[in-house]
Structure 1
Amino acid sequence: MDLLSSISLATSFYLAIVIGVTLRILARKHISSAARLAWFTVVVTLPAFGIVLYTLLGEVHISRKLRAKKARLLRQMKKLEFDRLEGEPDPYRKVPQRYHAIFQYAQTINRFPLSNGNRAELLYDAEDTRKRIIADIDQAKDHVHLLYYIWLNDHTGTDIAHAVIRAAQRGVACRVMADAIGSRVLLKSDLWVEMQRAGVQTETAMPFESMIATHLLNRFDLRNHRKITVIDGKIAYCGSQNCADPEFRPKAKYAPWIDIMARLEGPVVNQTQLLFASDWMSRREESTLKDFPLNARPLKNGFVAQVNGNGPTERRGAAAHLFATLIASADQEINITTPYFVPDIIVLNALCAAAIRGVKINLIVPRINDSWVVAAASKSFYSEILAAGVRVHEYVGGLLHVKCLTIDGQITMIGSSNLDLRSFDLNYENNTIIYDKKFTQQVNDRQDQYLKSAIEVQLQEVRQWRLPTRIWHNVIGTLGPVL
């Protein structure tokens, strides 16, 4: 075969691949028009790079084995009975009708019902959270379950690990999980080995054995972004803080990292326990739900609440639809605090529609972000949401890592979910939705503190951005589904 024939054959083969990938993008179901257009643009304009990128990141591959495990656990969870206080009314009777859709929709994701008899304590700061978690672990009598996306071997990470070691040495069953990427330094450290030698059961969430092997089974950049602490099945912690110091050594130039955490009691602890069980049992096939006792009971004079856990093995779009339902249910005010704001079209439209109909909306984000991609993509949405009436505030006191949303001074959702495409589609997340005016007021007071350290972005300022700046933001925003 001569050189010209070889080149012709290679060109034909290359074009066939480009056409095949393009047809795949156009034929796919369960993909937004924006994502389809973004991938089509990348593959057509940058064929070689686009094909490689689409192969790695274009679709959410989940192995049949993992899907089967999650489905089996869901079937088991459907059979569980959740306790109710004797004589207590249906928890929905405590919630105004306009908010029922929030909890009804959330229940369709994990089958966790709205529960009565819960309590929550909003913790003061990262140091307060560290001390309280350690104190609770030191009082544990039956079990300690921890799962973190990022667990560092810094002051906080080491102190909590040593508390778990002390618990294991006195006979408490300790199970800890850490994400393969977010906690990669810990997983290779002496501290991880020290926990294992003390009798702590350890597991890696979303292990990354090799790019090829992992990608053939599961998309390699799927992550477990949850932050779960359950102690004796009676106490749980929920919020945005990883097992790390606020100085956050890997990205110290953005410090301090500002987080929010709540200490929970009541039936939502059982629901949090089951989320942990779902992750643990996906790695330990010999485990059963009997290893994860549901010890929490409804507390008198407690509020109603519900746990929600989303992830790539749940119904596609479930997380975005939940955020949209929350936003659409608001009557007067919405306060959103998130470090990463890259909404899909569903959430974006819900935000704009709420603002246009008169709901006061405050969006609080960090002024300086640790991700240049997110920073640029976020700004591509400013003009549209500001024109609709959303007020945007950029926090300047560090990296605001808080993930919470409050509605009408009555409902709070607090947890690990960001308002971005990764949290919607790729990450395993955990959140707690609370209907309680007192707790929500405390969260609103905390958000007011963030506002005092924030600069409000004005629509006129955005409209005066230079043309290259606007183009840059819009290009990154358009490619958001790809990045």
Structure 2
Amino acid sequence: MTTWLLLALFIFIFQSGTILVLEYRRPANAMAWLFILFLFPIVGFVLYYFLAREYVRRRRVRRRGGLDEQRRGEILTKSHLINEPGDIPGGGFADEARLFRTLRKAGASPITGCNKSRVLTNGQMTYDAMMEAIRGAKHHIHFATYIYRDDEIGRMFRDAMIEKAKEGVQVRLIYDGIGSVSLSKSFFAAFEAAGAEYACFFPLRPAFMKKRMNYRNHRKILVVDGTKGFVGGINVGEEYLGRHKKLGFWRDTHLELEGDAVYGLQEVFLKDWELATKQRPSDPGFLPEHGCSGGEVVQIVAGGPNRRADAIHETLFAILATAKRRIWITTPYFIPSAGVVMALKTAALSGVDVRMIVPLIPDTKLVHAATMSYVDEMMSCGIRFWQYERGFIHAKVVIVDELIASVGTANMDLRSFFSNFETNAYLFHPDAIAALERDFLQDLKDSRELELSSFRKRSGGRKAAEALCRMLSPLL
């Protein structure tokens, strides 16, 4: 009996040590997996091996998904580059040379000055704009989405792309293997017959066997003819029109872009296509001269295992740390890194107006419980929380002063920061920031503010559930 106990102890210590060594960069991940290992010895380690060996495999994914330097050079040549902080309209960046350098270097993408943007504030507005762009396509349609439903909306987009493919337009679609796990190949029979192409990003079974389950393509990108692009929180499905029985009205934010920024979206899509298919399509029409007359400054920042750094996390941290007057955040999931927590706390303690809108009605109870576990400590530092009451809020927006705003696919959580393939657009123009500010203020009216004293009265069972979900939150 003693021999078996010693053997079991040795195995447990070996497994624990392996996790600690491999997850040294992510202490929160290590603690979550150690907790699972404690509850489920052996089984927990097997799960870790297949689901979470992210940093062992990451270099291999980067080698396959590295930037195309020739294409990048063409983008830099054709874009109207902003090389000095003083060149950004509004004057706010004149004294922010450090932040400007951080965005350019950590973001690993150019800040460009010839753009037009339009903020789209719900599913209907977004789908109308996207369908108009698709129906007007002349050369190509490049579409990437995390969730693609086989429902009325999914069939509407599929059929529109089929018609364009029959006209000779190049059509490529990427959907995620887990986000769209219920999508069958038969759904695309007519799509493929028309000459359109599609790819499943890391399909479920191969991803499990190749230990890529933790890599999910959470992007929502549409590029049409290389001159018009879309990015934001809206996938393809009826729930984004408010047809979900439980969630009701769906509040989200998407962007329509024209100009230099579309080159950035195109580069992201083509790199994902190569990673998913091992094909590298090349056509001069992918990066056309756009002739955009807009003067907005925009930066496209992509994050994911095929990038050299955690660009979205690093740039968002830098933006938050710069705040002098306000930080307004809308996010469906709030599971922040220690750095983001510290940036928000110190901002609030210094007098910055830090406000956060999160859902009242969750789409994922475990993640929502983890989100609420942060509320007490954040509110104690002066951060104010609102819960959206009109329906479900899925927008991913950050507004800092009148200086900069972020709209994109990345949630304010660890998965978006360190594991998922994500894309954010940073907006610098006063008009674009003002449009997002108006939407934020309207969302506040549709929300109720949490009071710290009342929040602390929640039941002991609820507090325990929140603590448990917070411990597991790096894996959610």
Fold conserved between structures, TM > 0.5: yes
Query: After the TM superposition, which of the residue ranges 299-308 and 221-230 deviates more from structure 2?
Result: 299-308
How far did 1:393 drift? 0.4
Indicate yes or no: 2:249 matched with 1:256.
yes
Aligned residue for 1:203?
Answer: 199
Aligned residue for 1:358?
Answer: 351
Q: 1:206 to 1:248 in 2, by over 3 A?
A: farther
Aligned residue for 2:181?
Answer: 184
Aligned residue for 2:154?
Answer: 157
Q: 1:468 to 1:283 in 2, by over 3 A?
A: closer
- 8 Å CA contact 2:123–2:250 kept in 1: the answer is no
Aligned residue for 2:298?
Answer: 305
Aligned residue for 1:372?
Answer: 365
Aligned residue for 1:458?
Answer: 451
How far did 1:361 drift? 1.2
Aligned residue for 2:29?
Answer: 35
In structure 2, distance between residues paired with 1:146 and 1:19: 47
Indicate yes or no: 2:374 matched with 1:381.
yes
- 8 Å CA contact 2:82–2:111 kept in 1: the answer is no
How far did 1:312 drift? 2.2
Query: After the TM superposition, which of the residue ranges 297-306 and 38-47 deviates more from structure 2?
Result: 38-47
- 8 Å CA contact 1:320–1:346 kept in 2: the answer is no
Aligned residue for 1:116?
Answer: 113
- 8 Å CA contact 1:62–1:217 kept in 2: the answer is no
Write the mapping of 1:330-409 to structure 2, written as runs, cut at 5 A. 330-409=323-402
Size of the aligned set, in residue pairs, is 471
In structure 2, distance between residues paired with 1:91 and 1:472: 49
- 8 Å CA contact 1:57–1:482 kept in 2: the answer is no
Write the mapping of 1:6-17 to structure 2, written as runs, cut at 5 A. 8=3, 11-17=5-11
Where 2:473 maps in the other structure, the secondary structure is coil
Q: 1:262 to 1:372 in 2, by over 3 A?
A: same
- 8 Å CA contact 2:52–2:211 kept in 1: the answer is no
Q: 1:147 to 1:348 in 2, by over 3 A?
A: same
Where 1:479 maps in the other structure, the secondary structure is helix
Q: 1:445 to 1:63 in 2, by over 3 A?
A: closer
- 8 Å CA contact 1:117–1:298 kept in 2: the answer is no
Aligned residue for 1:471?
Answer: 464
- 8 Å CA contact 1:92–1:114 kept in 2: the answer is no
Unaligned runs of 5+ in 1: none
Aligned residue for 1:127?
Answer: 124
Q: 1:247 to 1:140 in 2, by over 3 A?
A: closer
Aligned residue for 1:80?
Answer: 74
Unaligned runs of 5+ in 2: none
TM-score with structure 1 length normalisation?
0.90
Q: 1:239 to 1:474 in 2, by over 3 A?
A: same
How far did 1:52 drift? 3.4
Query: After the TM superposition, which of the residue ranges 110-119 and 423-432 deviates more from structure 2?
Result: 110-119
How far did 1:109 drift? 4.8
How far did 1:154 drift? 2.1
In structure 2, distance between residues paired with 1:234 and 1:78: 16
> Please, which of 164, 175, 194 is the counterpart of residue 167 of structure 1?
164
- 8 Å CA contact 1:369–1:375 kept in 2: the answer is yes
- 8 Å CA contact 2:358–2:393 kept in 1: the answer is yes
Aligned residue for 1:421?
Answer: 414
TM-score with structure 2 length normalisation?
0.91
Encode CA deviations 1:397-428: one digit per residue, 9 max, x unaligned. Answer: 11101111111134221010000111112211
In structure 1, distance between residues paired with 2:446 and 2:242: 23
Q: 1:396 to 1:70 in 2, by over 3 A?
A: same
How far did 1:481 drift? 2.2
Aligned residue for 2:224?
Answer: 231
- Provide the alpha-carbon RMSD of the alignment: 2.6
- AA aligned opposite 2:196: V
> Please, which of 123, 126, 144 is the counterpart of residue 141 of structure 2?
144
Where 1:283 maps in the other structure, the secondary structure is helix
Encode CA deviations 1:124-176: one digit per residue, 9 max, x unaligned. Answer: 53112212211111111111100110111222222111111111111111111
How far did 1:288 drift? 4.1
Sequence identity percentage: 28
